[in-house]
Amino acid sequence: MANIKDVAERAGVSVATVSRVLNGHSPVAETRERVLTAVRDLGYRPNNVARALRTARTGALGLIISDLTNPFFTELADAVEDEARSLGYSLVIGNAGERPEQQDDYIRTLLDRRIDGLLVSSAGTGSAMLSEVVASGTPLVLLDRTVPGVEAPCVRADGRTALTELAAHLAAHGRRRPAIIVAPAGTPTGDERLGFFRTALGGYGLTLPDERVGATPDLQPTGGRQVMSAFLDLAEPPDAVLATDNLMALGAMDELRARGLRVPDDVALVVYDDVPWFAHTDPPLTAIAQPTRELGRAAVHTLLARIEGRPANSVLLPARLVTRRSCGEVPAP
């Protein structure tokens, strides 16, 4: 079985450098990649039991995801696990299912397992249990969603620029009555996206009145369909709808089809959170893509910085607008 000296020899570095890379310290990307390649090639597995005895750490990180049935969060969890494993950490994952009480159960379970640190993409608006994690001294990093009153770094995407580009895109395609399907009222992420979109539209002479803002009771297709139905019953239905979650967008599409309406001929449809199959729907959906894998990697490194007592600030990575054909775009020749 390979040991750390074998990895150092294969990578052409010192044992100390290998140790630094496995603990997230390497400042040089090329060196880090050589070490991780050697780790994979040799099948090296750090002795986490010995490391725990030396450092009072277990080599395990916890991740609580708000809803693993959502493709965005599934990819996010996969990215976190890949990065954690590449750095010699195991990952224990809990699915909150968008239920704060289930989230709290997982937090208690993970703390009992003496994890070295915790990543949380919070269900709903969070819970008092997250403040207890901070008070306990367990390193905590929030992922994708901020939680009011919880003092911890948050790694998430910044949609301001992408939403501004979307407003310009809708205006350029003659859409004058935009609407938005948002998460349940009070959800920080949903409130932020609504605010950014409303401000961006104003810059192009477009308004977003309250009647064209629909908050879903949940983040599921049923909620998206319910809101779209209400929009279509308006005296002046919207001619463009932004769904701020991919599952809600599926429900919105179901309602449009049920009424015999077509995208984009009758209503333009845009989704916040791109997933691979949106490029293959009819028509392919214009979407705002979050840098999901980059978010996962950044979250792991931010958490390791907290575990090791290094400075750890919140991270904002830019989302981007991906234009396809659901707003009336002309397909490329």
Query: Does pLDDT of 179 surpass 80?
Result: yes
CATH number at residue 28: 1.10.260.40
Q: Are residues 309 and 298 in the same domain?
A: yes
- Considering the domain architecture, whether residues 10 and 101 belong to the same structural domain is answered as no
Is 9 a member of any domain?
yes
| Residue 230 scores a pLDDT above 80 | yes
**20 within some domain:** yes
Per-residue three-class SS string for 20-76: HHHCCCCCCHHHHHHHHHHHHHHCCCCCHHHHHHHHCCCCEEEEEECCCCCHHHHHH
8 Å CB contact between 156 and 145: yes
**Residue 231 lies in domain:** 158-290+322-327
Our count of domains for the chain comes to: 3
Residue 72 placed within a domain: yes
25 and 170 part of one domain: no
Compute the C-alpha angle 311/193/227, nearest 5°.
140
* Tokens 């009153």 -> residue: 149
pTM of the model: 0.80
Question: Both 152 and 70 in a single domain?
Answer: yes
Question: Is 51 part of a structural domain of the chain?
Answer: no
Angle in degrees, 0-180, between the axes of helices 71-86 and 292-307, rounded to the nearest 10: 50
* Average pLDDT of the residues of the chain: 89
Say yes or no: 178 and 281 in one domain. yes
Cα Rg of the chain (Å, integer)? 22
Structure confidence at residue 58 (pLDDT)? 79
What is the DSSP secondary structure assignment for residue 114, as one 8-state letter? T
Coil/strand/helix, residue 236: coil
From 246, 207, 214, select the one nearest 229 (Cα to Cα).
214
276 shares a domain with 197:
yes
83, 231: one domain = no
Q: Pairing state of beta strands 286-289 and 320-322?
A: antiparallel
Q: Is residue 152 part of a domain?
A: yes
Residue 44 confidence (pLDDT): 79
Between 42 and 120, residue with greater pLDDT: 120
Which residues, other chains included, contact 269 with Cβ-Cβ below 8 Å and sequence gap of 6+?
A: 240, 241, 243, 249, 252, 253, 256, 263, 285, 286, 326, 327
CATH for 241: 3.40.50.2300
Give the single-character DSSP code of 276. Answer: G
Is residue 165 located within the same domain as residue 266? yes
pLDDT at 16: 74
172 & 274 share domain: yes
Q: How confident is the model at residue 34 (pLDDT cuts 50, 70, 90)?
A: confident
Is there a single domain that holds both residue 297 and residue 241? Answer: no
Residue 332 lies in a domain: no
pLDDT band, residue 126 (cuts 50/70/90): low
Least confident of 118-127, 158-167, 218-227: 118-127
Is 333 inside any structural domain? no
Same domain, 273 and 296: no
Same domain for 228 and 163: yes
pLDDT tens-place string over residues 193-225: 999 999 999 999 999 999 999 999 888 999 999
